[in-house]
Amino acid sequence: MAGIPAANTFPRLLRANAEHVGSLPAYREKEFGIWQTWTWSEVSEEVRFLALGLRSLGLERGDRFAIIGDNRPSLYWSFTAGQAIGAIPVPCYQDSVADEIAYVCEHAGVRVAVVEDQEQVDKLIEVRDRLPELQAIVYTDPRGLERYDEVEGLVGVEAVVEIGRGLHGRDPEDYEREVARGRPTDIAAILYTSGTTGRPKGVLLTHTNLIEPARRAVKFDNLTQRDEVLAYLPMAWVGDFVFSIAQCHIAGFCVNCPESPETVLTDLREIGPTYFFAPPRIFENMLTSLMVRMENAALLKRRLFAFFLDVARRVGCDILDGKRVHPLQRLLYAVGNLLIYAPLRDVLGLGRIRVAYTAGEAIGPDVFRFFRSLGINLKQLYGQTEASVYVTIQADAEARADTVGSRFPGVEVRIQDQEVQFRGDGVFQGYYRDEAATAKTMTEDGFVRTGDAGYFDEAGHLRIVDRAKDVGALTDGTLFAPKFIENKLKFHAWIREAVAFGHERDMVCCMINIDLEAVGDWAERRGIAYSGYTDLARQEEVYELVRGAIGDVNADLAEDPALRGSQIRRFLILHKELDADDGELTRTRKVRRTVIGQNYGELVEALYAGRDSCRVAAEVTFEDGRRGTVEADVRIWDVDAAAPMAAAA
Amino acid sequence: MDELYFFLEVLIGGLLSGTMYSLVALGFVLIYKASGIFNFAQGTMVLFAALTFVGVLELGAPALLAAVITLAVMVVLAFAVERLVFRHMVNQPQVILFMATIGLAYFLEGLGQTVWGTEVHVLDLGIPDRGLWLGPILVSQFDLVAAAVVAGLVGALGVFFRTTTMGRALRGVADDHQAALSIGIPLHHVWVAVWSVAGFVALVAGLVWGSKLGVQFSISLVALKAIPVMIIGGFTSIPGAIVGGLIVGASEKLAEVYLGPFVGGGLENWFPYMLAMLVLMVRPEGIFGEKIIERV
Amino acid sequence: MKREIGGGPPVAELENIHLSFGGLQALQDVSVAVKPRERLAIIGPNGAGKSSLFNIISGIYTPSSGTIRHKGGARPARMKPYEVARLGIARTFQNIALFSGMTALDNIMTGRNSLMRRGVLGEALQLPWARRQEIEHRRRAEEIIDFLEIPSVRRTPVGELPYGMQKRVELGRALAAEPELLLLDEPMAGMNLEEKEDMCRFVLDVNEIHGTTLILVEHDMGVVMDISDRVAVFDYGRKIADAPPDDVRRDQAVIDAYLGTAHEH
Amino acid sequence: MFYRETGQYKTTYAADRAIFPIRQDRVAFAVLLLVAFVAIPLLANEYWLRSVLTPVLVFSLAAIGLNILTGYTGQLSLGTAAFMAVGAFAAYNLEVRVPEVPFLVSFVVAGLAAAGVGILFGLPSLRIKGFYLAVATLAAQFFIEWLFTHVGWFTNYSTSGVITAPPMTLLGFSFESAESRYLLTLCIVVVMAVMAKNMVRSELGRAWMAVRDMDIAAEAIGINLMKTKLTAFAVSSFYCGVAGALWAYVYLGTVEPQAFDVLRSFEILFMVIIGGLGSILGSFLGAAFIVLLPIFIANASGIFGDALSAETIAHLEFVIFGGLIIVFLVVEPRGLARLWQIVKEKLRLWPFPY
């Protein structure tokens, strides 16, 4: 592709951009009320001086240095600056507590830390005795640090740049010599993954690892210098590295840093990125707050809104996918676009989006379709730090809620024992100082184990069903993916939590927590009286409601040859809400299947024994901390298995 | 000697006609004291009351009945003004309230003339309008009667303020709103009452003026001169309104007679305002007003 | 960072000041001086004359007798408040006195008005100097907004802001004038703990980073004792003590007049 | 609804403080100018140009003048018409006595003369405020009206007391047609409105508003009250003076001092109140509203046939004006401009209600 320089390390990419598109904006930051802008030439200049300055602080080729803070241009530049002199950036999550930061910095043996502000400096000072190798702390925001003059090695980034400027003045070729010494196979960054268990592991990625897949992604979505992104996700996360550094350097587009984490939504609206990434949670929150805001609109406007949302629901996605749509519907959609969709996209700050991605977790199909039906090209991808993000990706017309797309160009993906494995030039070099973990993750033939269970559907799209270790099988050998089923259940508004059982059983049964707010609202509108959660949960009408939802999920499962056998056959609605205080949920609200299986052993037994009710007493922690017992009869209902549509027709 | 007599004649004439300004200013002062509102519409209320009175009279009602009906209309007006306008403007700055009274003035002027027409109505209350020789000095009998009416009205108001509950409440509210409330009369009622009293004063002024000048549009403009009267006398003082009226009446007459011929006459139109402006520059609170201290 | 108090004549020095309204003696024979970079707190019961003192320093009141000196030189007996402001003295008010119809940004920009050039035609035609001036001063105002952590309310009319925010904007407006001496009239009044902490931090930063001399009237004893170098205690228009916080705490006259009695705030 | 603000971020303070920071507003304004400068002269008939649009523009200018004083600086004035009269008579006297002066220069002189008188009558504002000040301005109103009526020099000893504006020619072009006069007025008004907008969004405007909102704090922050108030009087009167000259030259042609009586002052005050205190846009809206309302009433009363006499209609106008003033002050003291602002906010947030 013309205009995209084929340099093979980040400092070289930067130099190429400064030469080819030097006057175009590279980074912006909302500061002092306006979007301060730096062109590629200016960035190149800053990075050059910063690199030499960092070296003067004792940072040498092969040394690690930490980067901690919110998304700030100068922190982004410190990545490239460090790389230019052969040092390896180690970004840390800015919201980590001091101990977590200490672990990463200690493990990586960082010599220098480039941090944003007083908050981060304080954390480092707190754990400094654990970091004997840490020689210097460079801060970018001097606010509040005036009183720290006794802290050893603490220096402002401006002073470092000044030193670098001086060094450059004495030897203008110095920086270029450093850049020339860098090789594409050098480690470009160590990204620590937070892993579900144990301490974070440092993923070693080379320039090639990061640049080549990113380059293909740029081509895949035709990203150009005119694109804009908003950098608001943690800098320690591989996604931000790939979007805000790798692709930005390759495509030459502009990265915009918000004023502060609190103003992200305002800044999103101002900037209006054309290329956007957000985890499902953000889209879900956006949808919820949007609906809440519309509740307060005047009746006429609400009607109009509901009418056109309905139009969008029917034809919006098809229009976006370029499918055939009746001209009248198309016209109606165009009117809706003028009156509702376009203003809505605009107010949300999504008005200029060409390509948006979500990943990380399963996104609710309703949420996914909602944004697509508004004309926002939202797609899914599947990736890992170990892959430099890309494993699979959805092309523009292939966006679906329940798959994560087809193989990313240049990546081999295979399913081995239900586990997704991949290989390609993005594959990492190993975990830093952790041979054992590296050996466990890498197969002998160079594939990486993702730990996710999944399969390719007929269209060649990957579906992720669960963590591989959680996937089980029914007694007849049918694949049983509890989290997959639970997620599908939870996408229904009525259902707040769900726990599915089935491993080494003859069928799938589940326990449900209804959403008290949604179901309560529903019940009130129907004049159903109830005194609280327990009372509501036992109402026949509510069971009927939940059975309907489960029926939908079953119908969905029936469509899938691999999962057809794991439809839900029996369910009950729990008499109490699962609670993290009782150890039934993790603090991040993930169900602890084993704990629940033990706590509600009687109920599980009743489910599988075919009984139609079960008396239970459960210990609960009340809000005031007292503990007590709740006793109730819990009904158990059957559900019919659905047949696949094709078979039924 | 003639010079002196002439001077005294002009002076007394001015003073007596000044009492009529006092009459209008009295209405201003009442409302200002009770509500802090500078009622620009007071002059129009004079016109409106006179128009209503004449209108009812022309429909064939006897004078007393006409007066009662007019008074009732003024009370209704007071009620409406409080209920529809000022109750909704409680926290507005004074200048905004002032502008609202300008709107009120327009409204009343238009309303009065729409209902009763624009032609000049003659109002004859039987007040003799002949010259009266007090020694060598010629005095207008009419003006004497008017002055007497003013004196009577001031006296009546004095009695009202001293002896009736409402009167005491009105005095109280001028000093301290809380104090007035403690008497047990709601502020709204006090406002309505004071606007009604001001309406009554306007009616009296309208009758006197109407029978002198004829009931016509220009009354409201002449009544505007009550504003400099108040400025000179002080916003919050009834004696101030009287004295201010006398000063304005006398000075404008003297100016007209002694300076007018040199500058082409018509000094009366602006002289009181200029005088008021000068007073403002020297003593912003007026002769009898309380000193304005701004606390920081 | 070491803060040097003193060095050079007092930024403001009042000598034998008397002030009376009608027959009421608001201040009697008050002498007080504040050294460069010093933090002087003024405490005392309501009506003790604290605000009167501020009004005298800022030129709103003229003392009946006494001398006011600015950096060693005597000020003219009558000085207009705006002339005082241009000496580098800025203040906030006990009851927030913001320009309620204007945004937070415009309020702070107005604080810089005395540093700006006035030219009616130039501003009307937006001649280059007028445009440049607006932009330069906007930048400085934005630094204050950043410093006070109020960027999210930049465009909000101040009348719509919550009380604590208004206090912050008012401080911002005073800071915008780049004063050498800052008079803060009950900066923490009516604030919750968190707001007070923020305000204290701002006030200390201003003093330590920019070397701005502070005089503050404050009722919160904790705040006063924490942040001031010296405390002057007023009672019935007289100064009854003037010493470092710890000494004032032990002063019997002060305890009798003020600290000892239950003071409701 | 029509706003697409996403992506309209500001990278410089210059862009951020633009009069129209939003692109859609810039486009709308450009269209409006196009309509005013091209479409209206082509399409409107003589009656509309001469008797409606031209006076609307002239009144807008006077309303901007009053708004600067009352809306921005908080100094109430009831003497606007008097300052207009000063402008009209100053221009006339200059032209009559020094005929070679181009009329545009005499317009400037008209403004300057009014500014001078404005400063004179603004002096009391240093000691008094609010309606006290209104009295001072009333003094100006009555005194100036009297002056031009009774001192023959000002009317060049015209027996009728009426002055006739000399013809306006510029580089050989004579402004006689309704179109040319409309366009001339439009040019002057647009330029002066932009200048006013520039003043109120600069140091000067902030000083004015500071005086309006809290004069003690303004002074404590270093604003010279005297200078600022007198500047407001001067600038305000300048605008009124030019408007007065336009009124005499472009609209009426012949003027007597009574054309600038106290009722005219009230009329302009009403424009400012209804249009919106403290808003340049409001000055235009208010002027248009007050000029168009009687036309509307007259047309509307046509439905009743001849049941309403012209006189009654005139009185009804008073009732309606007075009522509207009260309604606006009670319901929306910031007038039509504020209503427009609310509508605009709604449109910017559409489809959200807040």
Instruction: Decide if A275 is inside a domain.
Output: no
Residues from chain C contacting residue B296 (CB–CB below 8 Å): 51, 55, 60, 93, 97
- Candidate from A301-305, A614-618, C141-145 with smallest mean pLDDT: A614-618
The reported pLDDT for the residue numbered B173 is 65
Reported in sequence order, the residue ranges of chain B that DSSP labels E, i.e. its strands, are 131-134, 137-140
CATH of the domain at B229: 1.10.3470
Give the span between the Cα atoms of C258 and A312, in whole angstroms. 71
Residues from chain B contacting residue D273 (CB–CB below 8 Å): 99, 103
Residues A232 and A367 in one domain: no
Q: Residue for token digits 């317009």?
A: D107
Residues A251 and A227 in one domain: yes
Q: What are the tens digits of pLDDT across the range D235-288?
A: 999 999 999 999 999 998 888 888 999 989 999 999 999 999 999 999 999 999
For A65, phi and psi rounded to 5 degrees?
-140, 145
Residues A303 and A361 in one domain: yes
Identify the bridge partners of residue D163 per DSSP, sorted by sequence position: D255
**Predicted confidence (pLDDT) at residue B296 exceeds the cutoff of 60:** no
Strands A64-68 and A110-115: parallel
Residues from chain D contacting residue A342 (CB–CB below 8 Å): 4
The reported pLDDT for the residue numbered A2 is 40
Strands A64-68 and A88-92: parallel
Residues A199 and A140 in one domain: yes
Residues A289 and A412 in one domain: yes
Residues A310 and A387 in one domain: yes
CATH of the domain at A588: 3.30.300.30
CB contact under 8 A, B98 and D130: yes
In the 3-class helix/strand/coil scheme, how is A124-156 assigned residue by residue?
Answer: HHHCHHHCCCCCEEEECCCCCCHHHCCCCCEEE
Query: Is residue D299 within 8 Å of D243, Cβ to Cβ?
Result: no
CB contact under 8 A, B227 and D135: yes
Selected residues 107-146 of chain D with any CB under 8 Å from a CB in chain B: 123-124, 127-128, 130-132, 134-136, 138-139, 141-143, 145-146
CB contact under 8 A, C60 and B296: yes
**Predicted confidence (pLDDT) at residue A649 exceeds the cutoff of 50:** no
**Predicted confidence (pLDDT) at residue B212 exceeds the cutoff of 90:** no
**Predicted confidence (pLDDT) at residue C2 exceeds the cutoff of 70:** no
- Candidate from A341-345, A531-535, C199-203, D345-349 with smallest mean pLDDT: A531-535
Q: How many domains does chain B have?
A: 1
Mean pLDDT along residues D148-168: 82
Taking the CA of residue A290 and the nearest CA in chain D, the distance in Å comes to 8
Q: What is the ipTM of this complex?
A: 0.86
Domains annotated for chain D, with CATH where assigned, are: 30-349 (1.10.3470)
Rounded alpha-carbon distances, angstroms, from residue A580 to A596, A623, A631:
11, 12, 20
CB contact under 8 A, C93 and B293: no
Taking the CA of residue B228 and the nearest CA in chain D, the distance in Å comes to 7
Identify the bridge partners of residue C17 per DSSP, sorted by sequence position: C30
What does R_g of chain D's alpha carbons equal in angstroms? Answer: 21
CB contact under 8 A, B296 and C21: no
- In a 3-state reduction of DSSP, which class is residue D310? helix
Mean pLDDT along residues A283-310: 90
Residues A505 and A403 in one domain: no
Q: What percentage of chain B exceeds 70 in pLDDT?
A: 92
Taking the CA of residue B175 and the nearest CA in chain C, the distance in Å comes to 20
Domain span holding position A214: 10-265
Output DSSP code: residue B269: G
Q: How many domains does chain A have?
A: 3
Instruction: Decide if A5 is inside a domain.
Output: no
| DSSP notation for A196-227 | SSSS-EEEEEEHHHHHHHHHHHHHHTT--TT-
Q: To probe the interface with D, which of A23, A34, A287 has the most D CB atoms within 10 Å?
A: A34
Report yes or no: B111 at the D interface, CB cutoff 8 Å. yes
Q: What are the tens digits of pLDDT across the range D165-190?
A: 888 878 778 888 899 999 999 999 99
Give the span between the Cα atoms of B116 and B104, in whole angstroms. 18
Residues from chain A contacting residue C146 (CB–CB below 8 Å): 31-32
Tell which of A265, A295, A319 closes a domain. A265
The reported pLDDT for the residue numbered A4 is 44
The reported pLDDT for the residue numbered A123 is 95
Report yes or no: D157 at the A interface, CB cutoff 8 Å. no
Question: Could you count the other beta carbons within 10 Å of the beta carbon of residue C78?
Answer: 9
Taking the CA of residue C246 and the nearest CA in chain B, the distance in Å comes to 32
For A111, phi and psi rounded to 5 degrees?
-95, -35
Q: Which helix (H) or strand (E) holds D26?
A: helix D23-34
The reported pLDDT for the residue numbered A625 is 63
Give the span between the Cα atoms of D251 and D305, in whole angstroms. 31
- At B292, the pLDDT band (50, 70, 90 cuts) reads low
Residues A327 and A238 in one domain: no
CATH of the domain at A159: 3.40.50.12780
Average pLDDT in chain D: 91
Query: Helices marked H in C18-162 — which ranges?
Result: 50-57, 81-85, 104-111, 120-124, 128-147
What does R_g of chain B's alpha carbons equal in angstroms? Answer: 19
- At A168, the pLDDT band (50, 70, 90 cuts) reads very high
Better pLDDT: A370 or B3: A370
Residues A533 and A398 in one domain: no
Average pLDDT in chain A: 91
What's CA A43's distance to the chain center, in Å? Answer: 28
* CB-closest option in D17, D220, D227 to C81: D220
Instruction: Decide if B288 is inside a domain.
Output: no
Instruction: Decide if B296 is inside a domain.
Output: no
Residues A259 and A285 in one domain: no
Give the span between the Cα atoms of A261 and A70, in whole angstroms. 8
Nearest-CA neighbor of B29 among B248, B283, B247, B238? B238
**Predicted confidence (pLDDT) at residue A109 exceeds the cutoff of 90:** yes
Residues from chain B contacting residue C21 (CB–CB below 8 Å): 293
CB contact under 8 A, B102 and D131: no
Q: Nearest residue of D to residue B284 by CA position? A: D128
Give the span between the Cα atoms of A168 and A183, in whole angstroms. 22
Residues from chain A contacting residue C138 (CB–CB below 8 Å): 33
What's CA D44's distance to the chain center, in Å? Answer: 23
- Candidate from A445-454, A619-628, B241-250, D181-190 with smallest mean pLDDT: A619-628
CB contact under 8 A, D321 and B105: no
Instruction: Decide if B207 is inside a domain.
Output: yes
Better pLDDT: A538 or B173: A538
* CB-closest option in A37, A296, A350 to D353: A296
Report yes or no: C98 at the D interface, CB cutoff 8 Å. yes
3-class SS shares of chain B: helix, strand, coil, % to 5? 75, 5, 20
- Candidate from A221-235, A307-321, B50-64, C118-132 with smallest mean pLDDT: B50-64
Query: Is residue D244 within 8 Å of C144, Cβ to Cβ?
Result: no
* CB-closest option in A33, A149, A260 to C154: A33
CB contact under 8 A, A32 and C154: no
Residues from chain D contacting residue A298 (CB–CB below 8 Å): 353
- Candidate from B210-214, C92-96, D120-124 with smallest mean pLDDT: B210-214
Instruction: Decide if B238 is inside a domain.
Output: yes
The reported pLDDT for the residue numbered D205 is 97
Q: Which helix (H) or strand (E) holds B195?
A: helix B187-213
Q: What percentage of chain A exceeds 70 in pLDDT?
A: 96
User: In the complex, which subunits touch D with 3 or more CB pairs below 8 angstroms?
Assistant: A, B, C
Tell which of A404, A436, A467 closes a domain. A467
Report yes or no: A350 at the D interface, CB cutoff 8 Å. yes
Identify the bridge partners of residue A90 per DSSP, sorted by sequence position: A66
Residues A518 and A567 in one domain: yes
Query: Is residue A404 within 8 Å of A411, Cβ to Cβ?
Result: no
Better pLDDT: D156 or A411: A411
Give the span between the Cα atoms of A93 and A70, in whole angstroms. 9
- At B233, the pLDDT band (50, 70, 90 cuts) reads confident
Report for A190-194, C6-10, D226-230: range of highest mean pLDDT:
D226-230
Q: What is the pTM of this model?
A: 0.89
Tell which of A265, A292, A314 closes a domain. A265
Instruction: Decide if B292 is inside a domain.
Output: no
Question: Could you count the other beta carbons within 10 Å of the beta carbon of residue D32?
Answer: 10
Chains B and C touch (3+ CB pairs under 8 A): yes
Query: Is residue A29 within 8 Å of A72, Cβ to Cβ?
Result: yes
**Predicted confidence (pLDDT) at residue A648 exceeds the cutoff of 50:** no
Q: Residue for token digits 């002439």?
A: B6
Q: What are the tens digits of pLDDT across the range A368-388?
A: 999 999 999 999 999 999 999
CB contact under 8 A, C106 and D209: yes
Domain span holding position B14: 2-282
Chains D and A touch (3+ CB pairs under 8 A): yes
Query: Is residue D330 within 8 Å of B97, Cβ to Cβ?
Result: no
Query: Is residue C65 within 8 Å of C42, Cβ to Cβ?
Result: no
Instruction: Decide if A270 is inside a domain.
Output: no
**Per-residue tokens: D31:** 């269209």
* CB-closest option in D16, D217, D227 to C93: D217
Cis, peptide link before residue D351, omega less than 30° from 0: yes
Instruction: Decide if B133 is inside a domain.
Output: yes
